[in-house]
Chains A and B, each alone.
Chain A
Amino acid sequence: MNENNRVWWILFLVGGGALLVRAATTEFGKSYARDQTVYVTVEGGTAEVDAVPGLPTAESDAAHPDAARWTRSLAADPGERDDPHVRFSWADTIGLWCAALLTLAIFSFLFGDNPGYRLAEAIFVGVSAGYAMIAGFWEGIVQLLLAKLIPVATKEHFLPGLEPDPRWADDWARYQSGDLGYVAAEWAATTLLSLVPLVFGVMLLMRLSPKGGWISRWPLAFFIGATAGLRLIVHFESDFIRQIQATLLPLIVFKEDNSFDLAQTLANVTIVVGVLSSLVYFFFSKEHEGVFGGVSRLGIWFLMITFGASFGYTVMGRITLFAQRLEFLFDDWLWIIDPLQRRAGL
């Protein structure tokens, strides 16, 4: 047994032992849920929603004839468990333990690679890839593609809130009055245009065929071209023009009563000198020697201050996240602390 393995075993046994001791002496790691029954009646485009606490009963059903009904389980704090509609939840308790153990597994990577981390990594890659694809399906394909290509069916099954393109109503009137050219133009502008991404998609998927791979470059080229065009404009405007505009500053500043404002003067001079010297650092076509080299050196110093400041400033956010994970372990899982008073009265 090498030293690493020994440390793992010790950590594992100590941790497990502590959990057992805690379990024997006090409660922790339980999740509760509040049941709610929702009755919905829809009349004339508005919904009447009645959320009744607890699971459905004969009385609550009788009180809502002709209403659609479903149940919801909402998160409840352990402190509320005396409430008759709050119950112990297996699903959330198992979830809580999964979350806690996965948190520990990721933390274990700090000590070194180990089977726990590899398992967490495997789950993470699978779940997050699935998550991204599901989001892409419902939000990209259904909302952006199907809603335009087959609006009626999409509205019927997936997006009841989808409002028909107002142009269609108009088109029907124009069609009847014989204005076919207009209708054709509108049709091209809506339906045909929404076919473009589908065609691109098919071209892209041609990669899967042994011979058609080259055609998948067309959509890629289209979007790389679009990216180049769009980014060129946006960045030139907001990062070049606007930043230069913001750097036009008076190098001497007076207060309203005409007295000299030293602090603001220094600040303005520093900003202008800093921007100019850092720009000099980025010059490619001139050797950084002599005066030019000196200014460029000053530019590097400004960049170093910028980096140091950003680094120091960022630390705070990282520690917050870290603290939050530890809080999750101590509060939600182990019930050692209770800063939000969620187990008050337990």
Chain B
Amino acid sequence: MIDVLSNLDRRWVFAAMFVAVGWPILSGVRFKEEPSEGVRRVFRAIEDLPEGSTVLMALDYDPSSQGELQPMASAFTRHAAERGHKIYFMTLWPAGSPMIERSLRIVEQEYPDYVYGEDYVNLGYAPGLEGAIKAVVDDLRGQFATDARGNSLDSMPLTEGLRNIQNMDLLVNVSAGDPGAKQWVQYAATPHDIAMVTGTTGVQAPSLYPYIPEQLDGVLGAIKAAAEYEQVLSVAYPKFAESVKAQEGLRRMGPQLVAHLLMIGLIVVGNVIYFVERSRGPGGRR
């Protein structure tokens, strides 16, 4: 048995992973979440703003990480719209524009009262990586002549008087890497004391913790935090508890659990093999 396992072709590990993730997806199994303090902090940052506050929604991710980040962007968008905040969408990623469109569709379909240009606006893609952050912080008009639809910024009430983002009430960032959360902290939130929350991939989250709470109000790390955020939202606003679409993150947690258990099992098995082989002495190892 041990010999079979110790010479196990890694392709069996891959196959096990396919089953561990595929089965819960097909069966649709779902678990409840217990929101952590960090997630509640992010929730409060949006919830406690007075209605009609200005929120810059910087969606810096692309299709390759939307599985993890789309639920966050959707939840942020729903929450901000539910609270009646004014939303400015933008992205630093060339492939981020279609991602913004997804959030816009949520606003259009679920908040028909929201008027483009008055309650929300899509500034679109800002080229120039972190330089673009400096630009919107100092002189937004230098970066965006028009919004993503070609409207002049002066023609819309929301952007008419907007010169830079220094007076935004909150900066919400969804970030898949660089440029993203870290650069927003470095170039916008820290120097201009803008309140900021961010939703990031699991990889990035640890490197952002050191910025909390002075430079950053909160981080949603990985899909679990997204699911917890959806949970808090659906407790605060029961309509979300009934909407399947507002529970994308919660649904994705099913495969997570099974796959995590597989990983744990693999680590245990790996160590059992290691100790058994070691007890057999040096000859036991390949």
Interfacial residues of chain A within 94-144, with CB under 8 A of chain B in the complex: 110-112, 135, 139-140, 143-144
Indicate which residue in B22, B151, B202, B210 contacts A326 across the interface (CB closer than 8 Å): B22
Q: How many residues of B contact A (CB 8 A)?
A: 50
Interfacial residues of chain A within 123-182, with CB under 8 A of chain B in the complex: 135, 139-140, 143-144, 159-163
Q: Which chain A positions have C-beta within 8 A of B202? A: 313-318
Indicate which residue in B127, B128, B210 contacts A246 across the interface (CB closer than 8 Å): B210
Indicate which residue in B26, B152, B185 contacts A45 across the interface (CB closer than 8 Å): B152
Q: State A291–B34 Cα separation when bound (angstroms).
A: 44
Q: State A317–B249 Cα separation when bound (angstroms).
A: 11
Q: Is the CB of A339 within 8 A of B146?
A: no
Q: Which chain B positions have C-beta within 8 A of A322? A: 17, 21, 255, 259
Q: Is the CB of A321 within 8 A of B68?
A: yes
Given A110-B14, A242-B215, A341-B244, also A323-B224 (CB < 8 A)? no
Q: When each residue 253-264 of chain B gets 1 if its CB lies under 8 Å from chain A and 0 otherwise, what string results?
A: 001100110010
Interface of A is mostly: helix
Q: Is the CB of B222 within 8 A of A313?
A: yes
Q: Is the CB of A323 within 8 A of B67?
A: yes
For the complex, is A209 an interface residue (Cβ under 8 Å from B)? no
For the complex, is B65 an interface residue (Cβ under 8 Å from A)? yes
For the complex, is A1 an interface residue (Cβ under 8 Å from B)? no
Q: Is the CB of A159 within 8 A of B145?
A: yes
Q: Is the CB of A161 within 8 A of B146?
A: yes
For the complex, is A319 an interface residue (Cβ under 8 Å from B)? yes
* Interface hub of B11, B14, B94 (most chain A Cβ within 10 A): B94
A264 to chain B minimum Cβ distance, whole angstroms, is 14
Q: Is the CB of B67 within 8 A of A139?
A: no
Indicate which residue in B152, B206, B210 contacts A310 across the interface (CB closer than 8 Å): B206
Q: When each residue 59-100 of chain A gets 1 if its CB lies under 8 Å from chain B and 0 otherwise, what string results?
A: 000000000000000000000000000000000000000000
Q: Which chain A positions have C-beta within 8 A of B94? A: 135, 139
Q: State A162–B125 Cα separation when bound (angstroms).
A: 15
Q: State A66–B65 Cα separation when bound (angstroms).
A: 44
A152 to chain B minimum Cβ distance, whole angstroms, is 14
Q: State A90–B18 Cα separation when bound (angstroms).
A: 31
Q: Is the CB of B186 within 8 A of A238?
A: yes
Given A317-B68, A320-B256, A323-B25, also A160-B150 (CB < 8 A)? yes
Q: Which chain B positions have C-beta within 8 A of A139? A: 94, 125, 127
| Total inter-chain residue pairs, C-beta < 8 Å | 121
Task: Give the residue name and chain of the B residue nearest to A134 (CB).
Answer: B94
Q: Is the CB of B206 within 8 A of A309?
A: yes
Q: When each residue 192-205 of chain B gets 1 if its CB lies under 8 Å from chain A and 0 otherwise, what string results?
A: 00000000011101
Q: Is the CB of B155 within 8 A of A323?
A: no
B235 to chain A minimum Cβ distance, whole angstroms, is 22
Q: Which chain B positions have C-beta within 8 A of A318? A: 202
Given A139-B94, A313-B206, also A340-B67 (CB < 8 A)? no
Q: Which chain B positions have C-beta within 8 A of A324? A: 66-67, 252
Q: When each residue 226-265 of chain B gets 1 if its CB lies under 8 Å from chain A and 0 otherwise, what string results?
A: 0000000000000000001100000110011001100100
Interface of B is mostly: helix
For the complex, is A46 an interface residue (Cβ under 8 Å from B)? yes
Q: When each residue 57-71 of chain B gets 1 if its CB lies under 8 Å from chain A and 0 otherwise, what string results?
A: 000000011111000
Given A160-B150, A315-B202, also A337-B26 (CB < 8 A)? yes
For the complex, is A234 an interface residue (Cβ under 8 Å from B)? yes
Q: Which chain B positions have C-beta within 8 A of A242? A: 190, 215
Q: Is the CB of B223 within 8 A of A320?
A: yes
For the complex, is A330 an interface residue (Cβ under 8 Å from B)? yes
Q: Is the CB of B222 within 8 A of A320?
A: yes
* Interface hub of A234, A314, A330 (most chain B Cβ within 10 A): A314
Q: Which chain A positions have C-beta within 8 A of B186? A: 234, 237-238
Q: Is the CB of B255 within 8 A of A319?
A: yes
Q: State A243–B190 Cα separation when bound (angstroms).
A: 13
Q: When each residue 25-36 of chain A gets 1 if its CB lies under 8 Å from chain B and 0 otherwise, what string results?
A: 000000000000
Q: State A336–B26 Cα separation when bound (angstroms).
A: 8
Q: Is the CB of B141 within 8 A of A161?
A: no
A139 to chain B minimum Cβ distance, whole angstroms, is 4
Q: Is the CB of B214 within 8 A of A326?
A: no
Indicate which residue in B65, B125, B203, B211 contacts A314 across the interface (CB closer than 8 Å): B203
Given A313-B205, A315-B260, A339-B28, also A162-B145 (CB < 8 A)? yes
Q: State A330–B21 Cα separation when bound (angstroms).
A: 12
A-B contact pairs, 24 of them (CB 8 A): A45-B152, A111-B11, A111-B14, A135-B94, A139-B125, A161-B150, A310-B203, A313-B202, A314-B203, A316-B223, A317-B201, A317-B203, A317-B222, A318-B202, A319-B21, A320-B68, A320-B256, A323-B259, A326-B21, A327-B25, A336-B26, A337-B25, A337-B26, A339-B251
Residues of A that sit less than 8 Å from B by CB: 45-47, 110-112, 135, 139-140, 143-144, 159-163, 234, 237-238, 242-243, 246, 306, 309-310, 313-327, 330, 336-337, 339-341
The 4 closest A-B CB pairs, nearest first, are A161-B146, A324-B67, A317-B202, A323-B255
